[in-house]
Amino acid sequence: MDTKLSYSLRELAQLAGVSKSTASRVISGNGYASPDVRERVLKAAEELRYKPNAVARAMVAKRTYNIGVIVFRDKLPIVSHTLYGKIVDEILMAAENLGYSIFLKTDREMSLRSMDYMLEQRVDGLILISRLRKNVIDYVKKFNIPYIMVNGSTEDPDVVHLVSNDEAGGERAAEHLYDQGHRGFFIVAGPVEHRSHSLRLSGFLNKLGRLDDRKRTIAEEDRQSGQGSDGIVDETSTKAEDASRISIVTVAESPDSGFDSGVRLMEERYEEFRSGGYTALFATNDMLALGAMKVLLENGVHVPEDVSVMGYDNTDLGGMYHPALTTVSVDAAGLGRDAVAILDRMIGGQENVPRLIEYESEVIARRSTRGEGNGTCSGIGNT
């Protein structure tokens, strides 16, 4: 008896002396059952350690209450990816609250295998994280399964996707560094095929251009209105350093976006960097920033005294570094929470879901850039 893995509703009903319909009503809570019967069934359930079989239930309900999460990646399999790990964590919590369980897969983007797996009615819906190309999307589209993209790199208007507003984030980063007086920028840009990297870069560059134009305009007005004028002048422009125009902007493209790539890139271009008059380094993600910063530190460059370094993503790692990395936050919590919530609505058949949600980013000022940044960091790493 004890060797039996589990009991069925029929066996439970038999023990309780009722029909399986009645037992079902008591267990599932749908339908009538007299107190007497209810008690008998519950007692029997207790005795047999009865647990309803979720598989059978899913079959008739045509609903599994499972959500598939696929994290696409280039090379290494990475749940421990500092940003995606956070998003997955949030998804896990949000799913739990809504009664869903999560199937997690990591996959190279060209393989459709794990997709197939999920498509076998194993899940009610799909959350796709990160880059994935058209062929994958087209494939998923063929099957009528609700899915949603998080931090993806497609611009397909049919696809529901949640992204952070990387362009605005890039602009804020530029503004932050510019306001701190920097005029020589070295930018480490991750793969431009990535939506995130390319938007962060363009946001940064565009903002820099506009700031510079404004500066020029003010300077000209200053000249036109003559010396000793009371004309409206931007207050920062009174300082000599701020008044100067941007001296140099260099974009160094990295084919990859990991820490190692940051290291490699800076090692290769260290001499150029050292002699170029750069005072600020911006990377399109934290990992690249940290990799590059590590090389600088190892070469005796002081951060932020000699060079300010700024990343993007607000990974926990950045906050733990010495010096703590100034960065731009990505609302991983919002991304994860909403992904599940919206998918849940799609699974429920609702049509009026937003096609695109953008999450705002903000600068997290810390020690790696000039200024008053604090060195705190969020918790991570319990064993």
How far apart (Å, rounded) are the C-alpha atoms in residues 284 and 164? Answer: 13
Q: Does residue 112 bind a second copy (CB under 8 A)?
A: no
- How many residues bind DNA, per CB under 7 A? 33
Which pair of structure tokens corresponds to residue 285?
Answer: 């993600």
Q: Does residue 225 bind DNA (CB under 7 A)?
A: no
Q: Which of 36, 134, 144, 228 binds a second copy (CB under 8 A)?
A: 144
Residue 117 touches which member of DNA, a second copy, none, C-beta under 5-8 Å by kind = a second copy
Which pair of structure tokens corresponds to residue 94?
Answer: 């949000």
Query: Minimum Å distance from CB 290 to DNA?
Result: 49
Residue 215 touches which member of DNA, a second copy, none, C-beta under 5-8 Å by kind = none
Q: Does residue 30 bind DNA (CB under 7 A)?
A: yes
Query: Minimum Å distance from CB 122 to DNA?
Result: 12
Residue 9 touches which member of DNA, a second copy, none, C-beta under 5-8 Å by kind = DNA
Residue 207 touches which member of DNA, a second copy, none, C-beta under 5-8 Å by kind = none
Binding span for DNA by CB under 7 A among 3-11, 219-227, 228-236, 316-324? 3-11
* Selection from 52, 31, 134, 54 nearest residue 100 by Cα: 54
Contact 359, 334 (CB under 8 A): yes
Q: Does residue 343 bind a second copy (CB under 8 A)?
A: no
Binding mask 254-293 for a second copy (x = CB under 8 A): --xxxxx------------------------xxx--xx-x
Q: Does residue 9 bind DNA (CB under 7 A)?
A: yes
